Amino acid sequence: MSRDPPGPAEEEAPGAAGGGGGGGGGGGGGGSGGEGRARPAGEGGGCYLALCARPVHFEKANPVNCVFFDEANKQVFAVRSGGATGVVVKGLEDRNPISFRMEDKGEVKCIKFSLGNKILAVQRTLKSVDFLNFIPDSPQVEYTQECKTKNANILGFCWTSSTEIVFITDQGIEFYQVLPEKRSLKLLKNQSINVNWYMYCPESSVILLSTTVLGNVLQPFYFKSGTMAKLSKFEIELPAAPKSSKLSLSERDIAMATIYGQLYVLYLRHHSRTSNSTGAEVVLYHLPREGSCKKTHILKLNRTGKFALNVVDNLVVVHHQDTETSVIFDIKLRGEFDGSTTIHQFVLPPRSIQPYQIPVAGPASVTSQAPVPCKLYSSSWIVFQPDIIISASEGYLWSLQVKLEPVVNLLLDKGKLMDFLLQRKECKMVILSVCSQMLSEPERGSLSVIATVFDKLNHEYKKYLEAEQSYTMVVETGLSRSNPLLKRPVRTQAVIDQSDMYTHVLSVFTEKKEAPHKFTIAVLMEYIRSLNQFQIAVQHYLYELVIKTLVQHNLFYMLHQFLQYHVLSDSKPLACLLLSLESIYPPAHQLSLDMLKRLSTANDEIVEVLLSKHQVLAALRFIRGIGGHDSISARKFLDAAKQAEDDMLFYTIFRFFEQRNQRLRGNPSFTPGEHCEEHVTFFKQVFGEQALMKPTTF
Amino acid sequence: AAGGAGQEKQLAPTLLSFFIYNPKLGPKEGEEEKKILFYHPNEVEKNEKIRNVGLCEAIVQFTRTFSPTKPAKSLHTQKNRQFFHEPEENFWMVMVVRNPIIEKHKDGKPVYEYQEEELLDKVYSSVLQQCYSMYKLFNGTFLKAMEDGGVKGLKERLEKFFHRYLQTLHLQSCDLLDVFCGISFFPLDKMTYLKIQSFINRMEESLNIVKYTAFLYNDQLIWSGLEQDDMRILYKYLTTSLFPRHMEPELAGRDSPIRAEMPGNLQHYGRFLTGPLNLNDPETKCRFPKIFVNTDDTYEELHLIVYKAMSAAVCFMIDASIPPTLEFCRKLDSIVGPQLTVLASDICEQYNINKRISGAEKEPQFKFIYFNHMNLAEKSTIHMRKTPSVSLASVHPDLMKILGDINSDFSRVDEDEEIIVKAMSDYWVVGKKSDQRELYVILNQKNVNLIEVNEEVKKLCATQFNNIFFLD
C-alpha cells in the first residue's frame, strides 16, 4: 500500500496503481457523478482511527481516466482523455467540484491549481509545463514555460503561492513568478543541484531534495513571498552501509509533516537483518527554519513489513499492512531519552481503522442493497501527508481522524491519558467525561489519581491564563504597536476552566450523592488545592459548592476550620452566605463579620449586620472607629435602638446624635431631612422634654 | 503578696479529697456506702467517707430548693473549698481543695493563716469538669460503664483511671487557661494547609478503616476531623500528657527513628507514639488506647493511633471493632511515614518563610491571653511552653488572679465589655470582650495613665488581631 506503487512523483497516484481492481470490478453506477455518501460503520472494538464520514468520491482510475492528487490544495483531478472529455476537480474542503475541458495535447503527467485555484499548471512533457488562467477576465489561452536548465528533465512542480511556482528538475530547482495577464513566467531564482527525487510540504512551504548517489543527503529549501532560502542539508543515516553505489533512500520511506508546530522529516527505517533492531522504526528529524536539522525522536514499531505514515492531530500514525492495524505515537509524551534522541513506544495497542461501509451509489429508489464494507489497508491505498488516504480502486479520498472516546478505555493510566488528551484538538468533552467517570462508581479513581488529573488540567489552564494576562498587559501598556507579531493567545479545547469543571463535572457529582460525603469533600478540596497550587483565583461558586456539601452533612466544624485557615477566600457573597447559616450554626455570624472586616470594603454591611442583631452600640463604635460616624443616618440607628426595646440604649444613641448635631451644626436638634420626628417624640415621652439637650449658647 | 519577713512561707493549694457518688445507688439508710463509686484518698475511714458524701448531698439538696436548675457549684469554708459537678444525671463528682496557707511563726510556733479568697471558683470548677471529660474520653460515660459491667465495672474503671490521673493534677498552677481549655492553632498559609488536607484525605482513603484524623504540628492543632468538644479534650491529652512523655527521649536523641534497615522501606522519621514500639518484632503488641467520642448521640468507640514524624503528629482514629494488626501498622508506617516526613519539613520551611515575612520573630512586647469561644482558639504569651504536667505562667500569681476575676465578670453578662485594672507596682491589666472573644493584656509601664493604657491595647489589637472583627 501507500507509496508501494513507485511513481515518478508522489502526485501521480492511482492511475499507476497496480493493486486493487484497477478499472474493473463493482462500483456500478459510480459514473453518475453524484456523491456517494459514505457512512462509517458501527463502533469497532476500541478503534481509535477512522476514515472521515464525508469522503471525496471521484471516478476511479482507468485507461481513459487518469487521476491525480494535489497535496497543496488537497484536490483530486480526474482527467478524461487527456482533458478533452473533461477534467473534474474535487477537494475535501471545497464541496463544489470544478469541471472544465482542455485540449488533449498528450498524456498529462502532473496537474495542479495554484493556491486559490487561480492558475492551472499541467505538465505533459519532461521539458515544459503549460499554464491556463482561471482568473475571471484574464486571457484564457494556454502558455508554456520550458525549464531553463539545458538537458534537464522536469521531475515535477509545486505551487508555493497563488502565482509562484517551483520546477524541480533532475539538475536543480527553478523558482518562477507567473504573470497571468502577460501569460508568461519570470524566473526569480534557480539553483543547480543533482536531484534524485523531491518532496513538498505545502504547510511549511518547504521542498526537500534527495541528492548524492545514495540519495540520503537531503537538501531543504524554504519559499516565502518571492524568496527562496536554502536550509542546511542533512544526511539520513541508512540502516546499513549500502554495498553498491546506487540510490538507497527511497522517497517512499520519507515524509514531511508539521508536528506541534515544528517541521519534521520522518524516515521509515526498515528492519535490517544486519542490525540487531527488533523491528522497523520511524526516525524523526527536526527541521528548524534556522539552524541544522537534528535527529530527535525514534518511534519504535516493533514489527516488520509494509508501513505507511500519516500525521493526524499532531500524532504520528503508522499503518501496518500485514496486520491491517495502525499504531499512533505522540512525541510530546514521555519517552526514553538517550541524551540526544527520545525513543517512543506506541501510545495505544495496535488497532485497525474503524470498519467503513461504502454506500452503494445511485438513486436510492433503484438500489436497496446493503452498503458494501470497504476493504481497509488495501494495497491500492495511497497515503499522503498529513492525513490523506486514497483508495484508487474505489475512487475515494478520505481524511484520517483520531477518535478520542475509545482511547479512554485503552489508556488506563489516567495521568498519561490526560497528557495525551490535552494535546488533542477536540478534547474538551472527552476530558470532562473522563473526569466525571473517575469520580463515580464503578471506575472511581483514587484521590492521588484525581489529584494528578486536576493538576494536569490546571497546568494547562494556568498556561493560558498567563498568556492571556501578559497579552493584556502588553496591549494596555501600548507596547503592542511596537510588536506586530503579538497575537491574542488562542484558547484551545485543552483549556478546561473552573466553570467547565463546575458545570460538567463537580456540580453533577455533588448532586448525585452516590459517593460518601468524605470523598465528595475530598474531591472538591483537591480541586481547590490544585487551583491554589497553580495560583489560580478560585471562583465563588466552587466555595459555595463546598459549603453546600458541608452544610448538607452537618459538617460545620469542618467548615469552620476551612474558614479559619482562609481556604475559602474572603468575599462579600461568601460572607453573606455565612450570615444565612447563622440560624443553623451560630458561629457563622462571627466568621462572617471577620470576613467582612478583612475585606475592608464592606463597612456598610458590617453596620447592617450589627444593627440587625440590635447591637446598636457596637455598630456605632465600629463606625466611629473607622471615622464614618459623621455621615451615617441617625434614623437608621435610632430605629434599631428603638427596636431593641432598651430605653437606656435608646437614650445613649439619641444623645450621641444630639451631640453630633451640636458639633456639626451648632444645634442639638435634628433637621427635618433626618426624619427623626417620631424618635424625638418617643424620647420626650420616655425621658421628658427637659431631657433633650439644650443648645449651647455662648 | 510576697511578705517581707523571711519567716513567712506560702503553702500552695492541694487536693484534699476527690470522690464520685450516685445517691440512687444506696437510697436506704445503712446502705450509704453503696453510693460511693470512687473515693480518694482511699485510706479514709469508711464512716468519714459516708459523712463527707452525705454532707455534699445535703448541700446540693438544700441549695436546689433555691435554684432548682443550678444547684451549688462550690462551698467555701475557711480551710478548704469544695467543688460539685453533676456530669451525668445523679452522678456527682466532688473535689475538695485546701486553701493556700501562709505559715507564720509567732513566738517560735508556726501559725497557719488560711487564704480563703485566693482560689477562683471558675478555675477549679473547670478543672473538675476536665477530670470528667478526660475520664469520659478514655472510658465512655459512667452510665454506659454501669450498663456494661454493673456498679463493679464502673468502680474498677474509676479506680483505674483516677488513681493515676489525680496525681497529675497540679492544683497550684491552675489558672485562666484551665477555664478556657482552649486549643492552640498552628498558623499556616493556605497552600500548605491545603496540602495537609490533601494528605489527610489520601491517607484516610489508603487506610480505609480510618474514621477520623487529627493533625498537629509543634503541639498545635491544624486539623480535626473530630467534633470540637471531643477535640478539645483529646488536644489536652495530647499536649499535656502524650507528647511531653515522648519529648524527653526525642531530645536525648535516643531511639533515633531513621530506619533504613527495612529493605524497600523509604527513609523516614515516622514512628508510633501509641501502639507498637518496634515494627520489626513480630511479637510486638499492637495495642492502642481506646477513646470514646460523640457520646451524646452516636457513642463511638475508637482506637487512637498517634503517629509522629519530626514535629508533625497525626492521630488516626479507627473503629474499635476493628483491632489494628501488625500488618496494618506496618502498612500505615510505610505509607504515612515517608509522606509525613516530607510534609513536616514543608510545613517547617513554610512556617519560617511566613515568620520572616510577617516579622513575627520579634519577641512580643505584650503579655496577653486571647480566647475565642467559637473555635476555642487560645493564644497566650504569658505561659511558657507546656511541660509534661503544667503550663507555667510567667507573671505573678496575683496578676493571674486578676485575670480570673475579670473573666468571672465577663461571664456574668452577655454584652461586650472592657475592664481596666491598675494592679500593684506599675502593672495594668486590661480585659476586653467582643462578641465571643476575650482578650487579657498585662502591661508594665511606669507612670502611664488610663488613656495611654487604652492606646497601647489598641496598638496590640491592630497588630495582632487586625484580621478579625474585634471591636476597639
Dihedral-angle region of residue A491 (phi above 0 means left; psi in -120 to 50 means alpha; beta otherwise): beta
- Non-local (6+) Cβ contacts of B360 within 8 A are B354
Look at residues A693, A671, A689 and name the one whose alpha carbon lies nearest to residue A681.
A689
Would you state the pLDDT for residue A37? Answer: 36
In B250-298, DSSP assigns E strands to: 270-272, 290-293
Q: How confident is the model at residue B438 (pLDDT cuts 50, 70, 90)?
A: very high
Q: Strands B14-21, B91-98: parallel, antiparallel or unpaired by DSSP?
A: antiparallel
The label of the residue with cell 427637659 reads A690
Q: How confident is the model at residue B472 (pLDDT cuts 50, 70, 90)?
A: low
Dihedral sign computed on CA atoms, order B202, A531, A432, A424: negative
When mean pLDDT is compared across A521-525, B104-108, B182-186, the lowest value belongs to B104-108
Residue with the bigger pLDDT between A696 and B88: it is B88
The string of pLDDT tens digits covering residues A283-336 is 999 999 888 889 999 999 988 888 999 999 999 999 998 899 999 999 999 999
Q: How confident is the model at residue B88 (pLDDT cuts 50, 70, 90)?
A: very high
Q: What is the mean pLDDT of chain A?
A: 85
The answer, yes or no, to whether residue A374 has pLDDT greater than 90, is: no
- CATH 3.30.450.30 residue spans of chain B: 188-252+262-356
When mean pLDDT is compared across A479-483, A618-622, B394-398, the lowest value belongs to A479-483
Domain boundaries, chain A: 614-697
Task: Indicate yes or no: CB of B472 within 8 angstroms of CB of A528.
Answer: no
Q: How far apart are CA A196 and CA A436, in angstroms?
A: 55
Would you state the pLDDT for residue A262? Answer: 93
- CATH 3.30.450.70 residue spans of chain B: 7-173
Residue with the bigger pLDDT between A80 and B91: it is B91
The answer, yes or no, to whether residue A165 has pLDDT greater than 90, is: yes
What is the CATH class of B7-173? alpha beta
The answer, yes or no, to whether residue B140 has pLDDT greater than 90, is: yes
> What predicted TM-score, i.e. pTM, was given to this entire model?
0.85
- Non-local (6+) Cβ contacts of A220 within 8 A are A206, A207, A208, A209, A230, A231, A232, A233, A287, A293
CB–CB of A315/A328 below 8 Å? Answer: yes
Q: How far apart are CA A78 and CA A89, in angstroms?
A: 6
Report the residue of chain A nearest B186, measured CA to CA.
A565
CB–CB of B3/B102 below 8 Å? Answer: yes
Task: Indicate yes or no: CB of A567 within 8 angstroms of CB of B194.
Answer: yes
Would you state the pLDDT for residue A24? Answer: 32
Would you state the pLDDT for residue A621? Answer: 87
Q: Determine what percent of chain B is predicted with pLDDT higher than 70.
A: 91
Q: Determine what percent of chain A is predicted with pLDDT higher than 70.
A: 89
When mean pLDDT is compared across A35-39, A367-371, A436-440, the lowest value belongs to A35-39
A516-520: average pLDDT = 90
CB–CB of B130/B33 below 8 Å? Answer: no
Would you state the pLDDT for residue B380? Answer: 87
The answer, yes or no, to whether residue A507 has pLDDT greater than 50, is: yes
The answer, yes or no, to whether residue A16 has pLDDT greater than 50, is: no
The answer, yes or no, to whether residue B467 has pLDDT greater than 90, is: no
Q: How far apart are CA A179 and CA A120, in angstroms?
A: 13
Across the strands, what pairs with B81?
Answer: B76, B97
Residue with the bigger pLDDT between A241 and A679: it is A679
The string of pLDDT tens digits covering residues A244-283 is 778 888 888 999 999 999 999 999 988 766 656 678 899 9
Minimal CA separation from B307 to chain A, in Å? 21
Look at residues B142, B177, B174 and name the one whose alpha carbon lies nearest to residue B157.
B142
Report the residue of chain A nearest B202, measured CA to CA.
A447
Q: How far apart are CA B35 and CA B57, in angstroms?
A: 11
Most B CBs within 10 Å: which of A444, A454, A561, as the mutation test of the B interface? A561
Pick the CATH number of B188-252+262-356 from 3.30.300.30, 3.40.1030.10, 3.40.50.300, 3.30.450.30: 3.30.450.30
Complex-level ipTM:
0.89
B335 and chain A: CB distance < 8 Å anywhere?
no
Q: What is the mean pLDDT of chain B?
A: 86
A642-648: average pLDDT = 88
A325-353: average pLDDT = 91
Minimal CA separation from B191 to chain A, in Å? 7
The answer, yes or no, to whether residue B1 has pLDDT greater than 50, is: no
The string of pLDDT tens digits covering residues A62-114 is 888 888 999 888 899 988 887 777 889 988 877 788 888 888 888 888 899 99
Task: Indicate yes or no: CB of A597 within 8 angstroms of CB of B416.
Answer: no
A635-656: average pLDDT = 90
Would you state the pLDDT for residue A688? Answer: 87
The answer, yes or no, to whether residue B202 has pLDDT greater than 70, is: yes
The answer, yes or no, to whether residue B81 has pLDDT greater than 90, is: yes
Strands across the sheet containing A325-329: A307-312, A315-320, A325-329
A443-466: average pLDDT = 94
CB–CB of A618/A612 below 8 Å? Answer: no
N- to C-terminal Cα separation, chain B: 33
The string of pLDDT tens digits covering residues A567-602 is 998 999 999 999 999 999 999 999 999 999 888 888
Would you state the pLDDT for residue B355? Answer: 79
**Nearest Cβ partner for A590 among B201, B225, B374:** B374
Helix (H), strand (E) at residue A417? helix A414-422
Please give the grid coordinates belonging to residue A329: 505515537
Residue with the bigger pLDDT between B62 and A484: it is B62
CB–CB of A331/A311 below 8 Å? Answer: no
B423-428: average pLDDT = 85
Task: Please provide the CATH number assigned to the domain covering B364-463.
Answer: 3.30.450
Dihedral sign computed on CA atoms, order A520, A521, A522, A523: positive
A110-124: average pLDDT = 90
Please give the grid coordinates belonging to residue A92: 475535501
Report the residue of chain B nearest A530, measured CA to CA.
B194
The answer, yes or no, to whether residue A3 has pLDDT greater than 80, is: no
Q: Strands A184-192, A172-179: parallel, antiparallel or unpaired by DSSP?
A: antiparallel
When mean pLDDT is compared across A49-58, A418-427, A515-524, B244-253, the lowest value belongs to B244-253
Rg (CA), chain A: 38
- Non-local (6+) Cβ contacts of B379 within 8 A are B184, B368, B369, B370, B371
Report the residue of chain B nearest A619, measured CA to CA.
B471
B195 and chain A: CB distance < 8 Å anywhere?
yes
Would you state the pLDDT for residue A585? Answer: 92
Neighboring chain B residues of A606 at a CB cutoff of 8 Å: 469
Most B CBs within 10 Å: which of A519, A524, A590, A614, as the mutation test of the B interface? A590
Please give the grid coordinates belonging to residue A384: 499522503
Minimal CA separation from B187 to chain A, in Å? 8
Query: How distant, in Å, are the alpha carbons of A52, A60, A400, A688, B386 from that of A92?
Result: 10, 16, 12, 95, 79
DSSP assignment letter at B111: E
Would you state the pLDDT for residue B360? Answer: 56
Between A and B, how many CB-CB pairs are < 8 A? Answer: 84
